[in-house]
Structure 1
Amino acid sequence: MTDAHTYSLQTYKGPGSRHACPACGDKLCFTFYVDENGDFLNEVVGRCNHESSCGYHYTPKQFFADNPSARHDWKENFFRVPQPVVKNTVKKQLWTIKTDIVKSTVNPEIDSDFTLFLTGLIGRENTVNIVKEYLIGVTKSRDVIFYQIDTEGRCRTGKIMKYDRKTGKRVKDEKVGGRITWVHSVLKQSSDPKLRLPAGWELTQCLFGEHLLRQYPLKNVALVESEKTAVICSSFWPEYIWLATGGKSQLNDRLQVLRGRKVVAFPDVDGYQEWKEKLSQLRGVDIVVSDVLEKEASFEDRAQHVDIADLLIRQHRKEHIEITPVERYEDPKLHPTFLKLKGLVGGCNMEELADVDNIKGPADVGYMEELALLVNELDLEVEGISRTMSNP
C-alpha cells in the first residue's frame, strides 16, 4: 500500500528533473512528487513553478483521494489511472495583505535590531531613507520585517527575522525566537477578526524590493539571495535596484517581472553553479551571473558563506569609505560612494560588472587621477581626493 506522506517534491538535479506542466503546457517548469526511490507517482502529480501565471499544484493526497484504487499497485495501474481534468485551468486568486498592516509597522523612528546595525554601518540618514524606500517594518520585539510588495503595490507577505544589532548576523537560536516567521502565518492565527486572514488564504511570493521596479523604470537591476544583502548593497551601489529572491532555490516564475531589464545576479559564494545553470534556462529575461565571489573568495570566505554585501562591508571598513545620501545627486553615478566602490567592483556596463578581471585596485594611479579630476569638476567630496582651486 502506498501512502501520500511517502512522497516529496523532486530535488532539482538539472533540466532532466523538470518536466512539462499538464496545465499550462510549458516545458521544464513542472516538478514531480517522487518516493524515496526517486520514482514519481503520476505525471500529473506535482507543482508548476509558474506560481502566478499558472498555479497548478496537484498533491499525492489529492491524487489518492480522487483515485482510491491507486493506493494498491500504483505502478501497474499508472496508465489506467483516470487523469484529472486540467484544461482551461482558472488562474488562482492572488491573496494579499492589507496596506494598513504594512503602514502600521513601517516607522523609521522605531529601530529593529537590524536597522540599529545598519545605522552603525551607513549612518542614520541613509538608514531612514532605506526603511522608507524598501518599506522595512519592525515588530514589538524589535525583529525586522522584510515585506514582499509587487509592482502593483500589493503586499504578498513579510519575512520576520531577528538580527544581532552589533554583528548584523541573523540570530538562529530557537531559544530566543530566532527562527524565520511570516506575516501571513501570524495573521492567520490572530485572535483579532479584523486582522485574521481567511482560512483559504494562499501565499504567492514576489521578489523583495519588486515595487521599486515601477519607481525606477530606467534603472538596471542587481539580484541577490537575501533581503539583508539587497538592503546593504543599495546603500553602497545606488545606481542599481537591488532585489532579493529570498532563497537560493527561488529562481522561478517570479523573475519574469524582470523582462526588459538588464540584470546582474550576485549569488552567494556557494550558489554560483546552481544559479548559473538555473538562470541559463530562464526564458525572456536578460541576466548575467557575476563570478566575482566564485573567483575571489578565500577558503575562509567559503566556510563563512559570504555574499557580495560581506565584500562591500569589508572594503568599507578597510577603506573608511564615506557614504553620502543618494538624494543629493540627480545622477547616482556621481555619488561619491559609488565612484570609489566602482574601483572595487568594476565598471558601469553589465558585462564589465560580471567580470572579476575588470576589478581595479585602490592603488590604480590612473583611476585615482581621473577620479580627482571628476571630483574637482563636480565639486564633490570624496575621502582621500583633494580638490584643486581653478584660476579666476
Structure 2
Amino acid sequence: MRRAAAWSTRIPGGPDGRRMLWIALMDRIGSGLWASVSVLYFTYVTGLSVAQIGTLVAAAGAVGIAGAPLGGRIADRLPLTHVLIALQLLRALASFALLTTDNYALLLAFSAAGSFGDRAANVLTKLYATRVAGPDRVRYQAVNRTVANAGWALGGLVAAAALTIGTTAAYQWLLAGDAVSFVAVALATARCGEPPSATRTIATSKDPVPATRPASPWRDRTYLAYVATETVLFLDDAVFKVGLPLWIAHSDHAPHGLAPLLMVLNNVMVVTLQVPLARFGATTAAARALLMPLSAVFALGGAAMALSATGGVVAVTLFLTVAAAAFTVAEMLHATVSWELSVALAPETAQGTYLGVHGLAQAAQRSVGPLAVTAAIAAGPPGWTLFGTVIALTCVFQHRIVRDRLTRPALSVLPVTVSEH
C-alpha cells in the first residue's frame, strides 16, 4: 500500500523532469490558443476560401509526417536538448511568419514548417522523457500528458474569451501568443541538462567499437508491424474529433449540445485518471498484458456507439456518454501501453530513430482516421460495431506480434552516461 502511494505522488526525472513538465504546460497553452482559432484566422484575417484552407491543412500535415522520423534520426546523432531548442525556435518563427503575409504560397510554406517542427518536437519530448525518467518513463509520460491536457484546456479557454471580441487584432494576438510560447519553451529547454544517451556515448567513445551496421527500424519487420497496428489503435482520436460530432449532428434524438460536453468529459477524465491508470502498465510485461483489457474497452465503445442509434433522447444520451467514456479509457490505456512498448521494442543505440518511426503511426492516423469514422457513420450501427471489433482484434494481434521480441530484457535503464564539455 505504501509503495502504491509513493508511486502516485512522486514525479520522476529529477529537476530536469520537472522543468520539462512546465515546458509541456507552456507549449500546450500556446497550442491551445492557436488550434481553436486557426481556421477562423485563415478565413477572416487572410481571406482564404474553404478549399484553400483544406489544402493548406492537408499539405502542412503531410509535411509534418516527415518530422517524426527525421527528428528522431537527428536526435540519435546530436545533443537532444539542442535539437529540441532548434525545433521550438522553428515553430516560433513559423508562427510569427504567418502574421506577416496573406500570400497563399507563403502561408502554405510557413504552416508546413510549423507542422514539421510540431511533429518532430512531439517525438523528441517523448525521447527526452525516456532518457531522463529511466524505469519510471511510463509514470512520467502519464504526468506529462495530464499537464499537457490541462495546458491545452487553459489555452482553449483564453482563446474562447478572446473570440468574444472577434476582431482581426484578437486573432493576431492569439497567434502571437502561440509564437511567444515557443520562444519561452526554447529558453526553458536551454536550462535542461542533456540526458544519458547510449547512441552518443558510443559515437564519442575513445575505445574501439566493432564496425556494425546501425540498427534501423525500416529493416525491423517486427517493429514495422507494431507501428502498423499502432495506427489502428490511435483511431480513438478520430472518434472525438470527427466521429462523435458528426454522429450527433446527424442523429434525430441526440442533443446537438452534447458534442462539446463529451469533449469536456474526455478532457476531465484524462486529467484526473491518466496518472492512476498508468501504474497498471508500469513495466514492459504489464504494458503488453494491458492490451487484452484494452481490446474489450474498444469493443465496448463501438457497441455503445451502435446502440446510440436506438431509443429516445435519454437512451441516446446515455449510450453516447458510455461510448465517450469507453473511448477515453481506451485512449488512456493505449497511451500507457504505447509509451512503454515503443521504447522496449527499440534498441538502446537507436531509440530516437525508432521512436521517430513510431511517430508515423499518429501522423498516419490523422489522415486515415477521419475516413474510417465517416465510413462507420455511413454504415450506421453495423459500421460502429465493426469499427470497435477491428480495433479490438488489432489489440489482440499486437499482443501476439510483440511477444517474441519482449523475451529479451526491457530497455528501461540506460547503462551509460554522456559528459558534455
TM class, shorter-length: under 0.3
TM-score, normalised to structure 2, is 0.25
RCO comparison, higher one (Cα < 8 Å, 6+):
2
**TM-score for both structures, normalised by structure 1:** 0.26
| Structure index of larger Rg | 1
Return the structure number with greater helix share: 2
